[in-house]
Amino acid sequence: MKKAVIGGGILTLIGAIVLLVTLTGGAKSPRDWIAGRFPASGGGYQSGQPPLRTADQIIRRSQPLDRAYDPAGVFLRYPGAVVAVLPAAGGSLIYVDTPERGYARWHRYVNGRWGGPDGRASLFRGGGPGDGK
């Protein structure tokens, strides 16, 4: 019984640690940080810096799952949010939406990259020509 308790306990503990790290690790939504760092403006937030610099600040604060740089702005994908950083007079405007709303709102710029028909992204995927295999 002692062996079973020790062995089983170790296995359970390792499993719990693996599960905890997997579920709580990874990208964190910068929603609260953006709300505290930038003044609200017209449904979004105002930054005095241009889009690339503003997006860089957000990325350094919280690494996104994915990102898309478009001539129209920078789009960042997090587990619980889509952040759009767009050019505006005197700097940038930042919009934070839920993933589904953000995808629909900025679909023109991120479709194919973050999703597509039946949720399959098809553009700009992988690590290069041949992509191994």
Q: Among residues 16, 32, 41, 48, which is the contact residue for another protein, using CB under 8 A?
A: 16
Give the integer Cα–Cα distance in Å for 14 and 40: 44
Is residue 12 near another protein by the rule CB under 8 A? yes
What is the side-by-side order of every strand in the sheet holding 66-70?
40-41, 44-47, 91-97, 81-88, 73-78, 66-70
State the minimum distance, in angstroms, from the CB of residue 75 to another protein.
Answer: 8
Is residue 46 near another protein by the rule CB under 8 A? no
What would the x/- binding string for another protein be over residues 58 to 97, using CB under 8 A? -xx----xxxxxxxxxx--x-x----x-xxx----x-x--
Tokens for 105? 């709102």
Identity of the residue, 37 or 99, whose beta carbon is nearer to another protein in the bound complex:
99
Tokens for 65? 């799952």
